[in-house]
Amino acid sequence: MANLEQLLEQHFGYSTFRPGQKEVIEAIIEKRDVVALLPTGMGKSLCYQLPGYVFNRPVLIISPLLSLMQDQVEQLKRFGEKRVIALNSFLQMSEKRNVLQHLGQYRFIFTSPEMLKNSQVQAAFRQAQFALVVVDEAHCISQWGFDFRPDYLKITDWMDAVNRPPILALSATATEAVVKDIKAYLHMSQPFEYIHSVDRVNLHYDVVQLEKPIEKAPWILAHVLKTHGPGIVYTQSRKKTAIYTERLLSNGIRAAAYHAGMEAEDRQFIQQQFLAGQLEWICATNAFGMGVHKDNVRQIIHDHIPSTVANYMQEVGRAGRDGQDALSILLYVQKDEDMTKFIITEDIPQERHVEQYLEYTGREENPAVMLDMHQISETGFRVLSYWMQRLAPQEVQQKLVDIRLSKVSQVDEMKTMVTAQKCIREQLLHYFGQSLNEKPNQCCHYCGIEYGVILKEREHLETLGYMPSWGERLSVLLPNI
């Protein structure tokens, strides 16, 4: 077998592994099931990319988000890998059939949980003899995870219980309860577990309590005018991304809004501008971040209570990837948590939805009519129909109550962390079942924090205003070489 370091150098151009990678890869090569929790930016993907060059059978990667899948496929192509394919709903029928008939010719096959419901796909996968099956963002499996996706529970249905390839479950953020769920739902047998500390010593956590919601925007503006970016303001609505952006722009700050409602090209332009250092601040919904690899983000501001501690971790974790100091600020006004609770429980089906569902099935009609009649959201229907097919109606009612309570209590956990008179870092680690070894200086608002020590002052930048003519731009895009 080739030396792992050699493969790393040869295919990815790195000379050393990052913490955890080698242990995980070795366990995979020994054909063990593995659960690996590695913080974002610690090279999670390499844990399956490198084994792809050790085995001579394809690696299957199940990925929950199409955008994430796209990002990973592009990343591999950038490393010069040609035998990679994304088997998803974007492919035409004929292309799909073609891919399924020639699975063996690929090294990496990405697919979505939705595709795995298809019986032809299942049949082809059973034949394929994968070297490894990777479940990315595995916390999505758990109903305690923040993105509960019922389809994800069925992703191993096609596999033979005994004679199956090893499974690698990857996540950046999972609590002990979530890890337990992952192991159970994926039927893992005595997996090797690599759990990296979730502590990020260069991140400093502040909480700023304000009296009224309307104080937030002026606070953000005043802060942004004084301190150095680049940074991201996370907010809850598309409208607010526009309001904050307008406010910053009209005060001479290079800012841009970002949310899922924008055109795909516009979203990419914003990402490119941010990466190229042309923007100081992005005002975004939680749609921003996935697949954006910018190392020098210095600040994250939340103007709201995130829906879970794990979400908060993931969002603040986008700062300081370069290892330099970075600051996370959460602005809190009493009762902010109520808005978050409202948003996250909006899509959970209610008692009446269960009754409507039963009325349709009772008349032998397809309950999906509920979607056409706008009686329920798509997410809501997905959850409802999943449980209705598995449990008795009374049990479904109970299940929905449980889901609601669990979501609400996760918001309360987040709120407690913000308002408790305790060290935030300790609480974060405790949440993930870990303990703190050493406290850095300027730890958090409870331990004491001074922005001047962590952040540099803002340097004045010219606003984006100047627009060279089209002719000049053409020669910048296509220069004479």
Partner 1 sequence: MYFQHLLLQIFHKFGGERSVSAGFHLLKGKRSGQTIQDVGNFNLHAFFGLTPKLSKEKYLDQAEQLVGKGYATYKDEQFFILTNAGREKANGSKMMQFNGWYYRGNEHIFFKRLSLVIQSLSYSVQEVKSFAPIQKNEDIQLWVKHYLVKNNYKSNAFIQTIRDEISDSLKGLPVEESSLNLLLYRLTGFNTPGWTWEQLAREQESTLLDVQLAFLEVLHAWLDALYKGPKYYLSQLAEGIRIEQLLTESAQKTANLFHQGYTLEQISAIRRLKGSTIEDHLVEMAMSLQEFPLEQFVAQQDVEAIVYAVQQMNSKKLKVLRDSMPELSYFQIRLILAAKGVM
Q: Which residues bind partner 1 (CB under 8 A)?
A: 70, 74, 77-78, 90, 249, 256-257, 262-266, 268-270, 272-273, 276, 278, 464-465, 467, 469-471, 473-481
Cβ nearer to partner 1, comparing 189 with 250: 250
Count other Cβ atoms within 10 Å, centred on residue 365: 11
- Please tell me the distance from the alpha carbon of residue 28 to that of residue 24, in angstroms, as a whole number: 6
- Please tell me the distance from the alpha carbon of residue 140 to that of residue 148, in angstroms, as a whole number: 5
CB 299 → partner 1: shortest distance, Å?
Answer: 21
CB 386 → partner 1: shortest distance, Å?
Answer: 30
CB 477 → partner 1: shortest distance, Å?
Answer: 4
Choose among 222, 194, 219: nearest CA to 209: 219
Cβ nearer to partner 1, comparing 200 with 259: 259
CB 417 → partner 1: shortest distance, Å?
Answer: 35
CB 88 → partner 1: shortest distance, Å?
Answer: 11
CB 119 → partner 1: shortest distance, Å?
Answer: 25
Q: Give φ, ψ of 422 to 5 degrees.
A: -145, 160
Cβ nearer to partner 1, comparing 73 with 423: 73
Cβ nearer to partner 1, comparing 208 with 249: 249
- Please tell me the distance from the alpha carbon of residue 357 to that of residue 292, in angstroms, as a whole number: 40
- Please tell me the distance from the alpha carbon of residue 100 to that of residue 87, in angstroms, as a whole number: 9
C-alpha 87: how far from its chain's center? Answer: 20
- Please tell me the distance from the alpha carbon of residue 317 to that of residue 154, in angstroms, as a whole number: 30
Cβ nearer to partner 1, comparing 272 with 441: 272
Cβ nearer to partner 1, comparing 255 with 443: 255
- The residue behind tokens 């005043």 is 222
CB 333 within 8 A of CB 209: yes
SS3 letters across 121-142: HHHHHHHHCCCEEEECCHHHHC
Tokens of 337: 């948590």
Cβ nearer to partner 1, comparing 394 with 470: 470
Cβ nearer to partner 1, comparing 106 with 432: 106
- Please tell me the distance from the alpha carbon of residue 376 to that of residue 384, in angstroms, as a whole number: 10
CB 368 → partner 1: shortest distance, Å?
Answer: 27
Rg from Cα positions in the chain? 24
- For 233, the 3-state DSSP assignment is strand
CB 98 → partner 1: shortest distance, Å?
Answer: 13
